[in-house]
Structure 1
């Protein structure tokens, strides 16, 4: 994606928070990069430089603003809108693929050579996979420094750094600060022993009630718990089991995690954000769909709707086609007692053998084509929408199938049009 720098500068001048996370604004005279809505005095146009990612700004020698904390923003909705190699790589990097498998493992999952992947990411995003992963580690480390009482050695390990020295060097380079100084500036840790509590940002408006209604309708006892104002569930993460409990204050999501292995923090946060569709741009969606004669009244009634996503691609697929068979947690967390597992089914065998991979690194076209031959088009479309965050997949509830002919008029936001109709069907 090419940044329209004139429009970007106007957004910075207006301190428009809708663009936070969509691009980075760097100031040549100070060497600092900011979110577009940073309250600092707007620099002259000739002193401004724009990047798609924090990693690109860091690679160019800029450090993060201490005032606006540009890494503490929603992610760019661009990675769901795009289905190309760069977007697929970004989704996997956010899930911790480089920390777990290295750049070679990331390239193998995407089906390209390391050299080609690095060339594409550098050309498209201004930074290669190592730099992008380093920015991801720095963000995870900042969260842990400012919101937990973990030792810095434990934080370095949890965030994916190879050593405490590498951790210290990266924090100084990215934030122009030391871990000790950052902890002193941070808010007092919250939560209880054994849990990490984080604030997850999003772009308002945000229809939390609609998400809770969806989770309540589809909840599996032991795996999920839904109350009037909260959602909890078990997670199967790369290094162990976990549980998460989510509540919804006015301007953020409060996320309480219990992890068996701290290295899973980044993956857990990334998956929860995808589950809640927190990186969406609701203003863009609502502005477009709000003008439609069919969907418009629903948009005005429920602004900020989100498409429920997925914390595990395989689980999402199997819940649609296979019987449930739970696996007990080693350490239960109240009513959260089981990890999801599926009973016998041909798709279960395909996943177990490695012939079928359902994760965020897949392209929409390849995944839906492969799934359609196994489970049919409707299931394939729903999996693509929930697992990949595809914004333009039309999945309609039973009573709204007659509206399928309106689908072309709802592009490129058909997933959200379907979400509005599904929400209406569930409450009527």
Structure 2
């Protein structure tokens, strides 16, 4: 990514939160790198070097600032992330892909040779995929060292390291301190869950985001308690819960994570960021959409509106299929029946969390009549059964493991999956900022058009943020404005 040094320096002088996570500044005299919002005294321009990613700063010999904590910075969410090999690789590495497989396998998933994909990553970020993965693990470890009292072995494995010895060696060589010496005195009690802070670029329309998720989730799987969002989580055989709320007066979400989920933190945290769309650039998105007179008043009413994501792609796809040609209320009722029938019972501290979301493997084993008995037509039951089997067998990936185009192509081969369902899954589960359910009746009504082709033509000016435009139209229609 090309950086304009003059613009970057103006951003750090004003501590402009819009640039948080979009670049980092290394200070030559201290060999420390910071976020643009760091509250330390602004260094002279001649002492500043700007980097597009934390890994590039660390690769040049800079250590992370202990005051602004680069590990808290929002991530990279480029305009064309869904079609860029480098950014797809970055997202997969952020999700822990290189913790479980080698780079050759990752390149094969994308359809390139490892040399081609490596060249794309180095060209975009200035560092190798391995350097990206190492920096990701180290910054997560630093995050946990600072905010928790997890035992070192637990912390190392939760950060993606294969051994404590490897973790200690890399942390000490990169940051100049042994992890035990680095550890803060404050934090959670060992063996308990953890509470971590995740940053975002302001503004954030939290109430709308929380309400959308809860209003379309399964009763007993997710709920709201005051200003908090609660839900159960089933990931890689681990079961637990999360509780999320904004930190008062700060651009942070406080995320409480149950102890049983600590071993899968490296995978869970990126999913939580995607669930709340924390890496979005709301200033850029809102500015683009506000240029259309149709959307301008909607954007002004809900600045910082995010596209709600998904912790599990199959769960979101199931919700989308159940929502075909029925009301939101009816779809939510059906989703609740599936949770009770196929979701395992959960024990949590919260009265509203009773089940884990149904897994593809469980529904794939169900008889077709079982699904019909939940209130489905035979055709829709068959679609869900086919979809569950495809996900359970690994033929279909709805969690971003494949390119968006490849996932959608495979998804739409399932009878009963049309453009509306595919685009809804693209915008929420596959995180395509330009995903656009153009045939949605609500979208057509909101823009006063009757044909999908007309909607597509009108929406050209909303690119590459049509997913955000869709959400503004839905919420505006629901509120009558």
Same fold (TM over 0.5): yes
Matches within 5 A, 1:34-53: 34-53=34-53
Partner of 1:70: 70
Alignment partner, residue 368 of structure 2: none
Structure 1 residues 29-51: Cα deviation after superposition (integer angstroms, max 9, x where no partner): 33221112223343444433222
CA–CA distance in 2 between the matches of 1:267 and 1:79?
Answer: 23
State whether structure 2 residue 435 is matched by structure 1 residue 393. Answer: yes
1:229 alignment partner in structure 2: 227
- 1:15 maps to 15
| Distance of 1:148 and 1:318 partners within structure 2 | 36
Partner of 1:383: 425
Q: CA deviation at 1:277?
A: 0.4
Quote the residue 2:26 is aligned against.
26
Q: Who is 2:125 aligned against?
A: 125
Q: 1:96 to 1:263 in 2, by over 3 A?
A: farther
Report the counterpart of residue 270 of structure 1 in structure 2.
Answer: 270
Corresponding residue for residue 180 of structure 2: 180
TM-aligned CA distance change 1:336 to 1:107, over 3 Å: farther
Indicate how the Cα distance of structure 1 residues 239 and 45 shifts in structure 2: closer, same or farther if over 3 A, else same.
Answer: farther
Deviates more, 1:220-229 or 1:134-143: 220-229
Deviation at 1:259, TM superposition (A): 4.6
Structure 1 residues 330 and 414: alpha-carbon distance in aligned structure 2, compared to 1, 3 A threshold: closer
Give the alignment partner of residue 408 of structure 2, picking from 368, 387, 406.
Answer: 368
SS at match of 2:230: strand
Confirm or deny that 1:206 pairs with 2:224.
no
- Deviation of 1:193 after TM superposition, in Å, equals 5.9
SS in 2 for 1:408: helix
C-alpha distance in 2 between matches for 1:76 and 1:174: 23
Question: Does the 8 A contact of 1:246 with 1:253 survive in 2?
Answer: yes
- Offset of residue 20 of structure 1: 1.2
Match of 2:217 among 216, 219, 225: 219
Asked whether 1:349 is paired with 2:401, we answer no
Query: How far apart, in 1, do the equivalents of 2:3 and 2:232 lie?
Result: 39
The CA deviation at 1:314 is: 2.2
Say whether 1:340 aligns with 2:358.
yes
Question: CA contact under 8 A between 2:193 and 2:260: conserved in structure 1?
Answer: no
SS of corresponding position for 1:135: helix
Q: Is the contact between residue 79 and residue 88 of structure 1 (CA under 8 Å) also seen in structure 2?
A: no
| Distance in 1, Cα, partners of 2:281 & 2:150 | 34
- Aligned-residue offset at 1:329: 4.7
Q: Which runs of 5+ in 1 are unaligned?
A: none
Aligned residues: 426
Cα distance in 1, alignment partners of residues 29 and 189 from structure 2: 41
1:161-209 per-residue CA deviation (whole Å, 9 max, x = no partner) reads 233232223333444433234323x6x3258963111111111111111
Q: Shift in Å at residue 27 of structure 1?
A: 2.4
Contact 1:310 1:316 in 2 (8 A): yes
Residue 364 of structure 1 and its aligned partner are, at CA, apart by 2.9
Q: Once structures 1 and 2 are overlaid, which stretch shifts more, 268-277 or 321-330? A: 321-330
**TM-fit CA distance, 1:377:** 0.8
In the TM superposition, residue 306 of structure 1 has moved relative to its aligned partner by: 0.6
Q: Is 1:418 aligned with 2:470?
A: yes
Provide the C-alpha distance between the structure 2 equivalents of 1:285 and 1:307, rounded to a whole number of angstroms: 11
Per the alignment, do residues 88 and 63 of structure 1 end up closer, same or farther by CA in structure 2, a change over 3 Å counting? same
CA distance in 2, matches of 1:272, 1:261: 13
In 1, the alpha carbon distance for the partners of 2:435 and 2:79 equals 15
> How much does 1:210 deviate?
0.6
Cα displacement (A) at 1:128: 1.4
**2:222–2:231 contact (8 Å) kept in structure 1:** yes
1:408 maps to 2:450 = no
CA distance in 2, matches of 1:327, 1:80: 36
- Aligned-residue CA RMSD (Å): 2.4
**Which one is further off, 20-29 or 162-171?**
162-171
Distance between the aligned counterparts of 2:290 and 2:79, measured in 1? Answer: 23
Q: 1:51 to 1:398 in 2, by over 3 A?
A: same
TM-aligned CA deviation for residue 308 of structure 1: 0.5
**1:261/1:209 CA distance change after superposition, 3 Å:** closer
8 Å contact 2:243–2:257 — kept in the other structure? yes
1:295 positional shift: 0.8
Which residues of 2 match residues 97-136 of structure 1 at below 5 A? Answer: 97-136=97-136
Which structure 2 residue ranges, 5 or more long, are not aligned?
323-334, 364-383, 448-454
2: CA distance between counterparts of 1:308 and 1:59?
Answer: 34
Larger radius of gyration: 2
Bigger shift: 360-369 or 414-423? 360-369
